[in-house]
């Protein structure tokens, strides 16, 4: 079961819920309220800019809804031909909707995603449609200095979104902590706010990651999170050395040098194979090898036969030559395996194990620690079986949270 992301669950709903960037919010509201009077010959659309996670997209949605506009969103980062982009813009800017009070508003989000030659065409299509639109257009971008959009800047009113202030981040986080009934302290929230650098999306995601492990929100757990991040910087480099190795020997060498635990490395590689190898045949080949690496890995952990380790490691080193193809040149998108994120909080995990151990310890007459270790496998089997799950859950008074933990542990 995947928990609903808190950035969704606690999205602000009303203009008055929006914290931060007050003047920008007010400007957008006024511009839309008075549209089309607000357009001039030179400034025909709005362009919101600012780093990611500062509430640009959500501000447009909330303001539009409150004023009675219906949003047609075009995400500019989706690759489209100039022709397709033009068509989309034409239908959305030239026709009206009949279902909303104030009509349509066109939102072109992720403008920085326009890239390459074909998208220059998309940018010029935008330019044309902004000059001829019948409905308000709002553009949103992370990167206002991008040269591709400089012609657009000349015909837009620019509105800046600034990173949230630490105190604003703390306010938002505290509100969520209270609603989720988390145990937290001020220094912890303040530290998290500092680390977020004003990116509220990142701050909320971090808060949720920590809460999921069952740990309290304190300076200590935040530092643990940050430390587990630092650790991942190395792993990204290791992944580079593997995926983009000149030859397979070099990849294996990099894997051995890295000192990353093999099971951890295996998860990193599996998570990222679909990102760097986009061709389905390459993926099939890669996953076939990874499944074999995984069989070796589990055999090792069962039998403690460490002589098998090199086989497992060698099988997981998926290079371009192994997968019969070149990996994508874009290496910036490595994904963090959720499992490792959670394991970073060994303390929270230990606490949960002991908590569960304490529940079963009187039944099996063992210490909590031993009980958990010995009976985890049994618990798992009971909880996986739909016939036994309800009884066991009720008898042991297990919460959904604990059940998920047991199944994953």
* Interacting residues toward ligand ADP by CB under 6 A: 7, 10-12, 18-20, 52-58, 172, 200-201, 204
Looking at beta carbons only, is 159 or 172 nearer to ligand ADP? 172
List Cβ<8 Å contacts ≥24 apart for 354-362: 355/402, 356/398, 356/402, 356/405, 356/406, 359/396, 359/397, 359/398, 360/396
Nearer to ligand ADP, 191 or 200 (CB): 200
| Binding-site partner at residue 239 among ligand ADP, Mg ion, none, CB < 5 to 8 Å by type | none
**At what angle are helices 248-258 and 309-316 packed, to 10 degrees?**
120
Which of 237, 281, 407, 255 has its CA nearest to residue 339? 407
Residues in CB range of 278: below 8 A, 6 or more apart: 328
Q: Interface with Mg ion includes 142 (CB under 5 A)?
A: no
The residues, any chain, with a CB within 8 Å of residue 203's CB and separated by 6 or more, are: 53, 169, 172, 173, 192, 193, 195, 196
By beta carbon distance, the residue nearest ligand ADP is 55
Rounded CA separation 166/189 (Å):
9
- How far is C-alpha 71 from the chain's CA centre? 24
Cβ contact 6:205 at 8 Å? yes
User: Rounded to whole angstroms, how far apart are CA atoms 211 and 348?
Assistant: 9
Q: At closest approach, how far in Å is the CB of 53 from ligand ADP?
A: 5
CB of 55 to ligand ADP, least distance (A): 3
Nearer to Mg ion, 57 or 124 (CB): 57
Q: How many residues interact with Mg ion (rule CB under 5 A)? A: 1
Of these partners, ligand ADP, Mg ion, none, which one is at the site of residue 297 (CB under 5 to 8 Å by kind)?
none
Count of CB atoms situated within 10 Å of the CB of 24: 20
115 interacts with, out of ligand ADP, Mg ion, none, CB within 5 to 8 A per kind: none
Q: Which residues does residue 74 pair with via DSSP β-bridges, in sequence order?
A: 108
38 binding Mg ion? (CB under 5 A): no
CA distance 300 to 195: 39
Do residues 289 and 311 make contact, with C-beta atoms less than 8 angstroms apart? no
Q: Which residue has the tokens 């449609």?
A: 129
Tell whether omega for the bond before 36 is within 30 degrees of 0, i.e. cis.
yes
Q: Which residues pair with 71 in a beta bridge?
A: 105
Nearest approach, Cβ of 48 to ligand ADP (angstroms)?
A: 8
Choose between 12 and 121: whose C-beta lies nearer to ligand ADP. Answer: 12
Indicate the residue among 196 and 218 with the shorter CB distance to ligand ADP.
196
Q: Which does 194 bind (CB under 5 to 8 A by kind): ligand ADP, Mg ion, none?
A: none
Q: Which is nearer to ligand ADP, 61 or 311 (CB)?
A: 61
**For ligand ADP, the closer CB: 204 or 323:** 204
Q: Candidates 54-62, 154-162, 251-259, 366-374: pick the segment binding Mg ion (CB under 5 A).
A: 54-62
- Span interacting with Mg ion, options 52-60, 121-129, 215-223, 290-298, rule CB under 5 A: 52-60
Among 38, 57, 171, 271, binds Mg ion (CB under 5 A): 57
In the complex, what is the shortest distance from the CB of residue 202 to ligand ADP, in angstroms, rounded to a whole number? 9
Rule CB under 5 A: which residues touch Mg ion?
Answer: 57
């Amino acid at each position: 079961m995947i928990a609903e992301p808190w950035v969704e669950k606690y999205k602000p709903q009303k203009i008055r819920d929006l914290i931060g960037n007050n003047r920008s919010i007010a400007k957008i509201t006024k511009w839309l309220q008075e549209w089309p009077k607000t357009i001039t010959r030179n400034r025909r659309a709005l362009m919101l800019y600012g780093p990611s996670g500062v509430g640009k997209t959500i501000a447009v949605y909330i303001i539009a809804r409150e004023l009675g506009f219906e949003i047609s969103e075009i995400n500019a980062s989706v690759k489209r031909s100039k022709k397709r982009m033009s068509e989309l813009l034409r239908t959305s800017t030239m026709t009206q909707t009949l279902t909303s009070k104030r009509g349509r508003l066109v939102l072109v989000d992720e403008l920085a995603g326009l890239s390459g030659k074909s998208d220059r065409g998309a940018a010029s299509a935008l330019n044309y449609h902004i000059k001829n639109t019948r409905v308000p257009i709002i553009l949103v971008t992370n990167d206002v200095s991008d040269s591709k959009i400089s012609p657009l800047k000349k015909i837009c009113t620019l509105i800046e979104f600034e990173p949230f202030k630490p105190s604003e981040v703390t306010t938002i986080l505290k509100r969520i902590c209270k609603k989720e009934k988390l145990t937290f302290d001020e220094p912890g929230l303040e530290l998290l706010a500092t680390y977020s650098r004003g990116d509220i999306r990142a701050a909320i995601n971090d808060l949720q990651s920590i809460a999921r492990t069952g740990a309290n929100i304190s300076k200590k757990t935040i530092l643990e999170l940050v430390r587990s991040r630092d650790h991942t910087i190395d792993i990204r480099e290791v992944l580079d050395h593997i995926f983009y190795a000149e030859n397979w020997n070099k990849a294996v060498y990099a894997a051995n040098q890295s000192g990353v635990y093999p099971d951890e490395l295996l998860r990193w590689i599996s998570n990222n194979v679909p990102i760097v190898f986009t061709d389905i045949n390459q993926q099939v080949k890669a996953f076939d090898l990874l499944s074999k690496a995984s069989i070796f890995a589990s055999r090792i952990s069962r039998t403690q036969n460490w002589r098998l380790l090199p086989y497992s490691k060698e099988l997981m080193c998926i290079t371009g030559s192994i997968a019969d193809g070149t990996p994508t040149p874009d290496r910036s998108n490595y994904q963090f395996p959720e499992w490792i994120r959670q394991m970073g909080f060994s303390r929270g995990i230990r606490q949960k194990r002991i908590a569960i151990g304490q529940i079963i310890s009187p039944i099996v007459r063992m210490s909590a620690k031993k009980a958990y270790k010995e009976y985890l496998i049994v618990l798992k089997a009971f909880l996986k079986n739909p016939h036994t799950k309800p009884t066991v859950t009720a008898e042991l008074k297990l919460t959904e949270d604990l059940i998920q933990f047991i199944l994953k542990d």
